[in-house]
Structure 1
Amino acid sequence: MKAIIYRDNGAPDVLRFVDRDLPEPGPGEVRVRVAVSGVNPTDWQARSGAGHPKHFSEVTPHLDGAGTIDAVGEGVDRSRVGQRVWLFMAAAGRPTGTAAEFTVVPAGQAVPLPDEAGFDVGASLGVPALTAHRALTVAEDGPRRLRPGALDGKVVLAAGGAGAVGHAVIQLARWAGATVISTISSPEKARLATAAGAHHVIDYREGDPAADIRKIAPDGVDIVAEVALGANLALDLAVLRTRGTISTYANDGGTPVELDVLQNMVLNARFQFLILYLAGPEARAAAAQDVAAAVRDGALPVGEEHGLPLIRFPLDRTADAHRAVENHVVGKVLVDVTV
């Protein structure tokens, strides 16, 4: 089979397009013929070695993808052969991710994909959708699971709604019944956040964004899903309701975070720092179930018309796909594996 591998950490040039033996699924595992592989920031960070120690002599990257089960290991229902699936955390703690024609994963990390949902949708779920679910289910006064109506009466602020996680936050929050506000930095990103389903978009670089958000949510925002905590903290606290939650999954820009303790005490603010790999298996399993339900409801479409442009590369140009993600391209970067 064709696969992408790297043996040493470094720039995208360390990625190699090679032939490898077809992997065999072990007990409790499935083998998937990968159609589309999704690329996330954590994939290039792992490749570069930035905060991700390398545990294997050779690695096939990428956590997310979608394809069809073509073999199962001992203990897995053989009726799953031929099932269309989306994959998450394929390369987490394992040397073989989805940047290959075939990959092997634990059966629970291959989630059924409805026939009406394309492989592009499946490959765009994984890290972004599960992170978004986590961000929306950690509030003190909020639900632990998502479904239609679970966030009725809540106001969610999706920072950076044109990004992959922000896009999923908008879609999941709207599916669950929240009023969704997104902060953006340009008319083009406003268009994308609106296409994703945001009820309101606010340009945080113009006018008085805190006052604009307070006009929409006079009592404050219940949940902030934050991508740049250091840069946006003052705005977040200005619009957060008492006992509100700031769920932060990144600190884009690297601005240091300084907290006014008294201000946060008066607000009874909750900060939840998120990293999917350490969220725990129960939280990840619940998120996968809820995301799968949202997909069945047609709530997580992708493509420019749905607020998430798709940027595609063939498997042998995976290095270029990594460069695109590193350069903060707007949209979801996909690698077409099966052509």
Structure 2
Amino acid sequence: MKAIIYRDNGAPGVLELVDREVPVPGPGEVRVRVAVSGVNPTDWKTRSGATNPKQFPEVTPHLDGAGVIDAVGAGVDPGRVGERVWVFMAAAGRPTGTAAEFTVVPAGRAAPLPAAAGFDLGASLGVPALTAHRALTVAEGGPSRLHPGALDGKVVLAAGGAGAVGHAAIQLARWAGATVISTVSGPAKAALATAAGAHHVVNYRAGDPAAAIRAIAPDGVDIVAEVALGANLALDLAVLRTRGTIATYANDGAKPVELDVRQNMMLNTRFQFLVLYTVGEQALAAAAEDVTAAVEAGALPVGEEHGLPLVRFPLSRSADAHQAVEDGTVGKVLVDVA
């Protein structure tokens, strides 16, 4: 089979296209013939060594993808052979991700892909959708699962609504019944956030964004799904309701985070920091079930007309795909494997 590997941390050029033996699933595992692989910021950060040093002599990258199960290991229902699936966290703690014609993952990391959903959508779920789900289910008194009506009466602020996680947060929050506000940096990204389903879009670089958000939500925002905590904290606190939650999954721009302790004491602010690697299997499994239900309901479409442009590369150009993500390309970067 064809696979992308790297043996050393470094720039995208460390990625190589090689031939490898088709892997055999072990107990509790499934083998997926990958059609499309999704690339996330965490993939290039892991490859570069920016987050952690390489754990294995050789690594096939990418956490997310979509394809068809073609073999199962002991203890897995053989009826899953032939099942269309979306794969998540494939390379987490393992040397083999989805940047290959076949990948082996624990059976629970391959979720059923509803019949109406294409492999592009399946490969776009994973990290963005599961992260957004976590951000929306950690508030005090809020739901731990998402479904229609779960966020009725709540106001969600999705920072950076033109990004992959922001896009998923908009869609999941709207599916669950929330009023969704998104902040963006300009008209082009405003168009994407609106296409994703945001009820209101606010340009944080123009006018008084806090006043604009308060005009929409006079009592404040219940949940903020935050991508740039250091840069956006002052705005978040200006619009957060008492006992509201700021769920942060990144700190884009790397601006230091400085807290006014008394201000947050008076607000009873809840900060939830999150990363999927350590969120726990129970939370991952619950999120995967809810995301699959949202896909089944048609609530998570992708493509520019739905607010998430798709940027494609063939497997042989995976280095270019990584560079595109590293450069901040707007939309979802996909690698065509099949």
SS where residue 30 of structure 2 aligns? Answer: strand
| 1:1-339 matched pairs, under 5 angstroms | 1-338=1-338
RMSD: 0.4
User: In the TM superposition, what is the alpha-carbon distance from 1:53 to its structure 2 partner?
Assistant: 2.4
SS where residue 38 of structure 2 aligns? Answer: strand
Distance (whole Å) between structure 1 residues aligned to residue 115 and residue 281 of structure 2: 27
User: In the TM superposition, what is the alpha-carbon distance from 1:75 to its structure 2 partner?
Assistant: 0.7
User: In the TM superposition, what is the alpha-carbon distance from 1:141 to its structure 2 partner?
Assistant: 2.0
SS where residue 202 of structure 2 aligns? Answer: strand
User: In the TM superposition, what is the alpha-carbon distance from 1:54 to its structure 2 partner?
Assistant: 1.2
Letter in 1 for 2:42: T
User: In the TM superposition, what is the alpha-carbon distance from 1:224 to its structure 2 partner?
Assistant: 0.2
SS where residue 98 of structure 1 aligns? Answer: coil
User: In the TM superposition, what is the alpha-carbon distance from 1:52 to its structure 2 partner?
Assistant: 2.0
User: In the TM superposition, what is the alpha-carbon distance from 1:239 to its structure 2 partner?
Assistant: 0.1
Structure 1 unaligned segments of length 5 or more: list them.
none
Structure 2 unaligned segments of length 5 or more: list them.
none
Distance (whole Å) between structure 1 residues aligned to residue 110 and residue 209 of structure 2: 41
Distance (whole Å) between structure 2 residues aligned to residue 147 and residue 163 of structure 1: 23
SS where residue 149 of structure 1 aligns? Answer: coil
- Contact preservation (8 Å) 2:221, 2:240: yes
User: In the TM superposition, what is the alpha-carbon distance from 1:287 to its structure 2 partner?
Assistant: 0.5
Letter in 2 for 1:19: D
Distance (whole Å) between structure 2 residues aligned to residue 235 and residue 55 of structure 1: 39
Distance (whole Å) between structure 2 residues aligned to residue 225 and residue 276 of structure 1: 15
Q: How many residues end up aligned between the 2 structures?
A: 338
Distance (whole Å) between structure 1 residues aligned to residue 333 and residue 52 of structure 2: 21
1:3-42 per-residue CA deviation (whole Å, 9 max, x = no partner) reads 0000000000000000000000000100000000000000
User: In the TM superposition, what is the alpha-carbon distance from 1:260 to its structure 2 partner?
Assistant: 0.3
- Contact preservation (8 Å) 2:38, 2:64: yes
**Identity rate, percent:** 82
Letter in 1 for 2:88: F
User: In the TM superposition, what is the alpha-carbon distance from 1:51 to its structure 2 partner?
Assistant: 1.4
Distance (whole Å) between structure 2 residues aligned to residue 30 and residue 281 of structure 1: 17
Distance (whole Å) between structure 2 residues aligned to residue 108 and residue 52 of structure 1: 25
SS where residue 58 of structure 2 aligns? Answer: coil
Letter in 1 for 2:161: G
1:172-200 per-residue CA deviation (whole Å, 9 max, x = no partner) reads 00000000000000100000000000000
Distance (whole Å) between structure 1 residues aligned to residue 114 and residue 181 of structure 2: 29
Distance (whole Å) between structure 2 residues aligned to residue 276 and residue 313 of structure 1: 26
Letter in 2 for 1:302: V
Letter in 1 for 2:170: I
Letter in 2 for 1:153: G
Structure 1 runs (4+) deviating above 2 angstroms are none
SS where residue 138 of structure 1 aligns? Answer: coil
User: In the TM superposition, what is the alpha-carbon distance from 1:337 to its structure 2 partner?
Assistant: 0.1
Letter in 1 for 2:104: V
